[in-house]
Structure 1
Amino acid sequence: MPPRAPPLLRRRLSTRRPHRDHPKLAALLDVLTSPPTSPTPLPHALSRAFPSPSDAFPLRTLPRLLPLLPSPLLSLRFLLWRLTLSSPLPSPYALSSLAASLPDLPSSVSLLLSSSTQPLPLPHYTLLLNISAHAGLFAASLAVLRHMRSFNLVPDAACFHHALRAAGSASDVCAVLEIMSGAGASPTAPVIVTAVHKLASAGSFEGARRLIDKMPEFGCVPNAVVYTAMLDGMCSYGNVNGAMRLIEEMEGIGLVANCAPNVVTYTCLVKCLCGKGMISEALGVLDRMADRGVMPNRVFVRTLVEGVCAAQRVTDAYDVIERLVGDGAVSSGQCYNVLLICLWRVGMAAEAEGLAQRMMKKGVRLTPLAGSLMVRELCVRKRSLDACHWLGMIEENGVLCDSDVYGTLLLGLCEEGHAHEASALGRKVVEREIHIEASCAERLVELLKQYGDDELASHLLGLKRCPGGLKF
């Protein structure tokens, strides 16, 4: 049986009032702190007490629930029980948040494995590796793989892939590959791609290349994906010259046809060059792509334009946009919205506003992302009236901004004393039933009551979004 909480802690937990967002907390604590003589395994006891786990413990409530449980080990065991019954698994973002909310995860994983005299259910191993990867805990990942092998279990490709994601050095990668070899398992293409990227990111370029050369032995064919992974790893390590030599090799005839660089390869290179301040070289990538018939996509455009704008080379940014629009590679609407976003992100507010005005005059519609960012940035600069004006223009063009924009703007209008505009926008929010973040809503209610608008304050309070929930 798992270790139990000390008697004093059990009394404290049993008398604690259930959290308002966790009505099942008291019942859960009763199960987790049941006498150690109970013959029922914990997962069975949990399933018997909570036959519908998704209803009893919605995923969005778990990040705040896990730290409330009696011990890190019990938090981990409860999460494994809860997630094993989830189909499909939560998103990577959600798993990352859950991993971060687990108290003392390294110790609890070690204690779980050392106290298990029988193999864990296979889904538990996969979940442990996935959670450890999101937490960046390679030692825990390696311990899970070794625990599986101690019971002669052969981890599948997904398990090895999760473990490699947590690797932080070339020796970490080699340790995973050694376990894979000892288990008689051959690496799949995704596993090799991840291993190559990790090796290159750690500066082991020869090791990455040797692994690529061995791909045919594993029934895999080297392609642009694995070479792009190596190039991106070299860029992460800071070996720009090596990355340039590799892309020249990919562009040449030394490799097979399916190893030619694609738009993702060139995007990785541009990001690296811009990060090193090599803007002229980054701009030259467009010519390399044109020579090989590789068409830019929106991600490439954003990466290049953002790098050029960050270097304050606005004229070059406009030249890039005009060239791409002229070539028909990306639509003018997409290009100019990307430029608008980049200008705001690098703090060039006046240039961004001027561009937005020209876009409006030419009938180029702002995207929800660009429009929302613009309103937020104006609010940050304490220009709520200008933000309100732009929001109206954006909505007139049939574009709806993100819901959080309305709360931010409402708060800015109230704090800057624009009661009339705040009232008009507030009633629009109520009509559309746009939810407001809890902290923002509470401050809004306080300010609106000061202005004497108790009715609007009451309506907005009803639209308050509960804090701490995860979006899945």
Structure 2
Amino acid sequence: MFYYCENGKIMKALAILDRMESRGCFPNRVTVSTLIKHLCGEGNIEEAYKLIDKVVANGSVSRNECYSSLVLSLLQNKYMGEAKKLFSWMLGNQIKPDGLACRFFIKQLYAEGEILNGFAYFLEMEKTDCLVSVDSDIYSILVLGLYERGHLVEATRLLNAMVKRNIKLKVSNANAIFEVLQKSGETELAMHLQGVHDHVERKDSI
């Protein structure tokens, strides 16, 4: 199956999958992700959705895993509009994107100058209890991007959330953000964040 995917014969690979399933042999996440990747690479997004419907129905791979893989493949193939629609739909239907999908999605928004959209998606994730997928890398990207573009209120709100959850900033961004906080008069927040950052670093070194 992987041979056919790598050699541009994705429909042949799907036919093999059908035969496998008819004999009670169901795909794992790696197989499904590979098929989704190559379907998106050929622009066959509709077929990718059909594949997901099928594997979710037979219970071999979860909806969260399938749609997270699809988000990644859409982004990798420059289908940003479709990725946004899918990500919003997932949040609206309590389908939690995994950490990799979240991180890549936010990074792409940042790269395209849509950091406020990234913050809006973060708020939606907060409402739908999806923050378990948000790691310190995503917080750091959002905070730095918001400060870079002068969105101080949003950035400070995010930093307060980080302090509350004891999440440290990505090291490469920490000093720049501490400096911005002090310049903007948020000395107390800077000290709290520095304390969390130092505490976690000491803990990691033990």
TM-score tier after normalising by the smaller chain length = 0.7 to 0.9
Counterpart position of 1:329? 60
2:115 touches 2:145 (CA, 8 Å); kept in 1?
yes
Q: Secondary structure at the match of 2:107?
A: helix
Q: d(CA) in 2 for partners of 1:301 and 1:319?
A: 12
Count of residue pairs the alignment pairs up:
199
Residues 391-470 of structure 1: pairs in structure 2 closer than 5 A: 391-399=122-130, 400=132, 401-462=134-195, 463=197
Deviation at 1:277, TM superposition (A): 2.0
Q: What secondary structure is seen at the aligned counterpart in 2 of 1:436?
A: coil
* Larger helix fraction of residues: 2
Structure 2 residue 103 is matched with structure 1 residue 372: yes
Match of 1:148 in 2: none
Residues 49-69 of structure 1, C-alpha deviations (whole Å, 9 max, x = no match):
xxxxxxxxxxxxxxxxxxxxx
1:358 maps to which of 89, 92, 104: 89
TM-score between the two structures when normalised by the length of structure 2: 0.84
Helix, strand or coil at the partner of 2:176: helix
Tell me, in whole angstroms, the C-alpha distance in 2 between the residues paired with 1:460 and 1:361: 32
1:246-261 to structure 2, matched below 5 A, reads none
CA RMSD of aligned residues (A): 2.3
Distance in 2 (CA, whole Å) between partners of 1:298 and 1:417 is 41
Q: 1:455 to 1:392 in 2, by over 3 A?
A: same
SS of match in other structure, 2:89: helix
Deviates more, 1:364-373 or 1:305-314: 364-373
Deviation at 1:301, TM superposition (A): 0.9
**Whole-angstrom CA distance in 2 between matches of 1:418 and 1:281:** 50
Deviations 1:230-284 (A, max 9, x none): xxxxxxxxxxxxxxxxxxxxxxxxxxxxxxxxxxxxxxx32x3222222222222
Q: Go from structure 1 to structure 2 and tell me whether the alpha carbon gap of 1:429 and 1:362 turns closer, same or farther (over 3 Å shift).
A: closer
Are 1:295 and 2:21 matched, yes or no?
no
Q: Find out whether 1:282 has 2:32 as its counterpart.
A: no
- In structure 2, relative to structure 1, the CA distance for the partners of 1:450 and 1:337 (3 Å cut) is same
Q: Offset of 1:431 from its aligned partner? A: 1.7
- What is the distance in 2 between the residues matched to 1:363 and 1:398? 8
Could you tell me whether the CA contact under 8 Å between 1:325 and 1:331 is conserved in 2? Answer: yes
Counterparts of 2:104 and 2:47, CA distance in 1: 23
Residue type of the partner of 2:137? D
Do the aligned residues in 1 keep the contact of 2:146 with 2:154 (CA within 8 Å)? yes
Alpha carbons 2:74, 2:83 under 8 Å: kept: yes
Q: CA deviation at 1:417?
A: 0.8
Q: Which amino acid aligns with 1:342?
A: S
**8 Å CA contact retained: 2:94, 2:128:** no
Report if the CA contact (8 A) 1:372-1:405 is conserved: yes
SS of the residue aligned with 2:27? coil
Query: 3-state SS of the aligned residue for 1:417?
Result: coil
1:28-427 → structure 2 map (5 Å cutoff): 269-270=1-2, 272-399=3-130, 400=132, 401-427=134-160
Distance in 1, Cα, partners of 2:78 & 2:189: 35
One-letter amino acid of the structure 2 residue matched with residue 353 of structure 1: K
Q: Residues 413 and 422 of structure 1 are in contact (CA less than 8 Å); yes or no, is this contact kept in structure 2? A: yes
Deviations 1:386-434 (A, max 9, x none): 1111112112222221122111110010001100001111111112221
Report % sequence identity: 34
1:350 is displaced (CA, Å) by 0.8
Q: Using the TM superposition, name which of 332-341 and 295-304 deviates more.
A: 332-341
Query: What CA distance in whole angstroms lies between the structure 1 residues aligned with 2:100 and 2:172?
Result: 23
TM-score (norm 1): 0.39
Distance (whole Å) between structure 2 residues aligned to residue 396 and residue 439 of structure 1: 29
Structure 1 residues 450-459 or 305-314, which shifts more?
450-459
The one of the two structures with greater contact order (alpha-carbon pairs below 8 A, sep at least 6) is 2
Q: Partners of 2:161 and 2:64 in 1: how far apart?
A: 28
1:8-64 CA deviation, whole Å, 9 max, x = no partner? xxxxxxxxxxxxxxxxxxxxxxxxxxxxxxxxxxxxxxxxxxxxxxxxxxxxxxxxx
5+ residue gaps, structure 1: 1-268
* Divergent runs of 4+, >6 A: none
Decide whether aligned partners of structure 1 residues 426 and 311 sit closer, same or farther in structure 2, where only a CA change above 3 A counts: same
Q: Which amino acid aligns with 2:146?
A: L
Which of the pair has more CA radius of gyration?
1
